[in-house]
Structures are given as structure tokens and as C-alpha cells.
Amino acid sequence: MKIKICVNSTKNYSEKTLPIIIPSLIDAGIDPEDIFVFEGGHDERSVIKKDTYNLIQTDNNTIDMTGLIDIVENELESDYWFYIHDTCKVGTKFKELLYNIPESFPDKIALTTHPSMNIGSYKYSCLMRYKDKLLKVKNQDYSEKKLKKLKEWSIYCEDLILHKPHQTGIGINGIHTDTIDFYNLEISDCVEIENQDWYDGVKRKVEYYPQLDLYKSKANYHRTIKPIIEI
């Protein structure tokens, strides 16, 4: 079974985030050949082979959908794709937990039972079923106005093709999911830990997901900080 990693990023922030997430994936045992960074916001698409990952500079910036759009548009095959934000990092148990996929898993597994920021495992065949839907929202307008509008849209459309059966209000254009299984739910979905500064001198809250040994740095919503093009 092959699981490739889709790191969703943007050229305006990747120089800060990639030095954190890429080494953590390597330390967890992920093969560099299976790590793909989708860097949104370029005029033309290009593929660059790095020592520790594959960089795809995409010709779209569609916030959370950037990497998934590039995968289906260019038919980048794998048994599964695991989607993750560039503002994450993983622990040494990540690979072992990632590959612990139930035999009954039909299409995709979300990170949590609650909204998962699109983070989860997707069968390639599942992603391709949504190709037309994903391409319909592809964005190539990088103006501040358009990106702000997309940022707002992404909040309301979290888990666009990963949303849970009980989240009936999420999803657009008639996108609905099949039966969803989850990673080990006998442990806590999420643990919030003390604020940390990973990048730029601003402390953000960090969420830890023990089901995948995965950490997510998130904005502290009570303070004003420079927006990051991702959720």
C-alpha cells in the first residue's frame, strides 16, 4: 500500500513552515519520494525535485483546496493521499499510525470526529470522483480581495469533500461523502497544549492529535496577526 503525503502550502509562507514540517516527516520514517509540497500562488505550474521532498509550484491558490486540485487535475496517482497543512508537524509514531488503516476503509478517513481542517487520508479513486467539483473552485486570481473572500469561504466549507455524515450544512455543489471511518477513537481526538512560537515570534495555540501523533499550530483568535493562507 502506498500513501503519499500532500503538504498544502503557499509561496507566501512556505519558507517559514517547510523547515518545521519536512524534517518531522523524515524523522517519522516517511520516504522523501512520498512527500509532495503543493505551493500555491504561482503563475505557471512546475515540479522541482528537492533532496527531502517533491515541490510542486501550482498555478492555483485555492486556500485549503490547492493541493487536492493539483492532484486530480494532473492525475497524480497513489493508493492513498494523506492531506496535511504546512503549519503542522508530526511525531515519530506518525507513519506507524498513518498506515493503520482498517481493512473496511472504503474511501477516506478524517483526522477527527469533529471538523478536521480537511486533514485525513483519501483514496486516489475517491479524489478522482470529485475532480469536476474540485476544478470548479480552482482559483487563479491572487488579488488580496479574492484571497480574503476565499479565506472566508474556506471557513464555511471546511472538510469540503471530507465532511462527516452529521455535518449536513458543510459542502458545496452537491458534494457528499460515503461512509466515514475514523482513526482510533478510544483516545482523545485533540489535546490543546500551551501556546508555542514555531516561526515568526508570534505564539499560537497548538493542538495535538494523539491518534496520528500530529501537531497543528493555529492562530490565537483573541489577537490580531498577519493572516496565513490556510486554515
Nearest-angstrom CA–CA distance, 44 and 67: 15
The predicted pLDDT at position 195 comes to: 87
The predicted pLDDT at position 155 comes to: 82
Nearest-angstrom CA–CA distance, 63 and 188: 28
The residue to which cell 515540479 is assigned: 47
CA 35 to chain centre: 12
Listed in sequence order, the residues at least 6 apart from 42 whose beta carbon sits closer than 8 Å to its beta carbon are 11, 57, 58, 59
CATH class of 3-186: alpha beta
- What's the rounded mean pLDDT across residues 47-70? 97
Residues recorded for the chain: 231
CA 168 to chain centre: 21
- What's the rounded mean pLDDT across residues 36-55? 98
The predicted pLDDT at position 157 comes to: 79
Q: Is the pLDDT score of 34 beyond 70? A: yes
The predicted pLDDT at position 187 comes to: 55
Nearest-angstrom CA–CA distance, 24 and 185: 24
What are the pLDDT digits (tens) for 67-121?
Answer: 999 999 999 999 999 999 999 999 999 999 999 887 766 688 888 877 789 999 9
The predicted pLDDT at position 147 comes to: 94
DSSP state of 106: -
Strand order from edge to edge, sheet including 204-209: 88-90, 214-218, 204-209, 191-196
* Grid cell for residue 75: 492525475
Within 13 Å of residue 30, how many CA atoms lie on the same side as its CB?
Answer: 32
Higher-scoring residue by pLDDT: 11, 113: 11
Q: Where are the domains of the chain?
A: 3-186
The predicted pLDDT at position 193 comes to: 87
The predicted pLDDT at position 225 comes to: 33
- What's the rounded mean pLDDT across residues 180-185? 48
Nearest-angstrom CA–CA distance, 158 and 115: 7
Most confident of the ranges 43-52, 149-158, 187-196: 43-52
Nearest-angstrom CA–CA distance, 82 and 105: 14
The predicted pLDDT at position 94 comes to: 96
With H, G, I as helix, E, B as strand and everything else as coil, classify residue 99. coil
What are the pLDDT digits (tens) for 124-169?
Answer: 999 999 999 899 999 999 999 999 999 888 887 788 887 655 444 4
